[in-house]
A and B are shown apart, each in its own frame.
Chain A
Amino acid sequence: MSADGFIQVKDLDLVYMKEGKPFPVIKGLNVNIAKGEFAVLVGPSDSGKTCLLRLIAGFEDPTSGEIFVDGKSVKGPDPSRGYVFQDMVLFPWMTVHQNASFGPKSRGLSEKEVKEVTKKWLDKVGLTKFQEKYLHELSGGMQQRVGFARVMANDPEVLLCDDPLGQLDWVSRETLSNEVLQVWHETGRTVVYVTQAIEEAVYLAQKIYIFAPRPGKIAQILEVKLPEKRWEDKDLRFKKEYYHYVEQLREIITEQASKSKEPVEKGPCSP
């Protein structure tokens, strides 16, 4: 691993045009994320978190600056950078199994390999019993598990998550965040995760990157020094040491947000 980080974002600018005028979304953003790190991006509304995630995914190109993943410049989407969307974007006409095996098949793995890798990930997310079901037969939490299985079956180096649990109820959210942590811990992959919930940010992260208001850049980094296997402590979510970070993060975000007026209009990367 180079000292510069596994994911290296250098002098990034992203400028859109709006009513004929330049509209800067990200300006001079620099960040280094280590291999195997669980990085969480938080910040005021419209500060460019989702935009950064999409740039790392290669869904669009920055106006200037560059992103390197494992030393290679990002030029477009790649299965080595898996993306879990907030609203899943699964194929509704396919069963759970077909959804999960889509990536491995497209990558041209042998039938046997496709079977193995699909089985492995459906087992891991607890969906084996439901593999012949269609998506509308599953609850929101189960659908999001399919989303994870589908991405993980591609064996990505980097997992990019755009608030994947944001639509779920609180308890399912807590359960699934434990599962996400376990997958991260077992596979040792690098995760970049966007969330709106500060409790979730602290629970998941090793490092939290806090954005300044638009045009976005990293204002501050908060390192969360809680044990790595957080799911083992059933009471962690009610402990002072955990909420101490939540409160700290709340103060930082509130301070950042107060530096600019809340945007009235929706941002270019919001739905």
Chain B
Amino acid sequence: MTNVIEATKLKKLFRPDDPSRLLAIDGFDFEMKEGEFVTLIGPTGCGKTTFLRIVAGFEDIQGGQILFKGKPVEAPDAKRGVIFQDIRLFPWMTVRDNILFGVKSRGIKAEEQKQKLKETMELMQLDNEALNMYPDRLSTGMRQRIGVARVLANSPDIILLDEPLNSLDWVTRDYIQTTFLKLWHETKKPILFVTHNIPEAVFVAQKVVVMTARPGKTKSVVNVDLPERRWELRRDNDHYLDLVKTTSRLVEDELSKAREVEKVVGY
């Protein structure tokens, strides 16, 4: 199978004009196959979100190579859908316009737009009540669902998730997690999920990539050989708990190295 993402010897400086400043990522190799659900985890500041931004095309790099389906990533593209931690809905647009933003920008016909809207609303269990509201009135959970809907409406080739479940209440988090697990199960659309929540990282993925403290490299890869219909899995499953423990120990090990870095600010 081909690699959907392939990074070799990736290097990223926070301040390219001053190489003596912090290195975000140095010598990072990463590959993700078509159809995989991968989580990327590591101590604060290890560069996991930076890497996701590089894949999305938001950041330039100072060394190495980043390929998406064999071609270098040069700019953002609707084929790589990003869901951010803080959602970033357009506050001046109604929910309907937010969801259809990408679809409209791509010049898709009105009839097809309607169909897309209907499909994504069903998938995210949104009802008409919300469609004409502006984002500032909505609950956090509802805003996050709409953020997800906006990206899915674009039918991206890969979904990039930057800690999108962080500040959600349990029920919404569980719902969105399940939505992604089912979507992946049915479509095998590749998903790259960045999180610091270890139990969650293990729960959703087939493969957990643990990064080292900054500058981030791959420390270890944990293969999660749990059944695919993960939303049916109980969290007190012995094998699941073993994998959470293994992953936690790897992250803790890196965290002790990162502690000193954490105290230094100035970037």
Contact = CB atoms under 8 A, between A and B. Distances in A.
Contact of B172 (A136, A172, A262): A262
B43 A171 contact: yes
B265 A270 contact: no
B244 A42 contact: no
A253 B235 contact: no
Contact of A199 (B133, B168, B199, B251): B199
A243 B235 contact: yes
A169 B248 contact: no
Contact of A243 (B198, B236, B255, B265): B236
Interface stretch (A74-82, A95-103, A146-154, A233-241): A233-241
A266 interface: yes
Contact of B244 (A136, A172, A198, A238): A238
Contacts of A172: 44
A247 interface: yes
B174 A250 contact: yes
A266 B137 contact: yes
A240 B236 contact: yes
A48 interface: no
Contacts of A250: 170, 174, 235
A85 to B, nearest CB: 14
B234 A247 contact: yes
Given A239-B241, A246-B235, A265 B138 contact: yes
Contact of A240 (B241, B248, B265): B241
Given A167-B167, A170-B197, A46 B139 contact: yes
B112 interface: no
Interface string A258-271: 00001111110010
B133 to A, nearest CB: 7
Interface in B182-230: 195-199
B198 A198 contact: no
A171 B251 contact: yes
Contacts of A199: 199
Contacts of A169: 43-44, 196
Contacts of A137: 265
Contacts of A220: none
A240 B238 CA distance: 7
Contacts of A131: none
Nearest to A267: B139
A197 B248 contact: no
A240 to B, nearest CB: 5
B171 to A, nearest CB: 4
A197 B170 contact: yes
A53 interface: no
Contacts of A264: 127, 129-130, 133, 138-139, 142
B193 to A, nearest CB: 14
Interface centre among B140, B142, B171 (most CB of A within 10 A): B171
A257 B262 contact: no
Given A42-B170, A139-B44, A196-B170, A266 B198 contact: no
A120 interface: no
Contact of B248 (A136, A141, A238, A263): A238
Contacts of B195: 170
Contacts of A45: 139-141, 169, 171-172
B44 A196 contact: no
Contacts of B234: 247
B139 A246 contact: no
The 8 closest A-B CB pairs, nearest first, are A243-B236, A238-B245, A169-B196, A45-B169, A257-B171, A266-B139, A170-B196, A170-B197
15 contacts: A45-B140, A45-B141, A142-B263, A169-B44, A170-B197, A171-B196, A171-B198, A237-B244, A239-B241, A243-B236, A247-B234, A253-B170, A262-B172, A264-B130, A270-B139
Given A139-B265, A254-B174, A265-B138, 20 more contacts: A42-B170, A45-B139, A45-B140, A45-B169, A136-B265, A139-B263, A167-B167, A170-B196, A171-B43, A196-B170, A240-B241, A243-B241, A244-B236, A246-B235, A254-B171, A257-B171, A262-B141, A263-B139, A264-B138, A266-B140
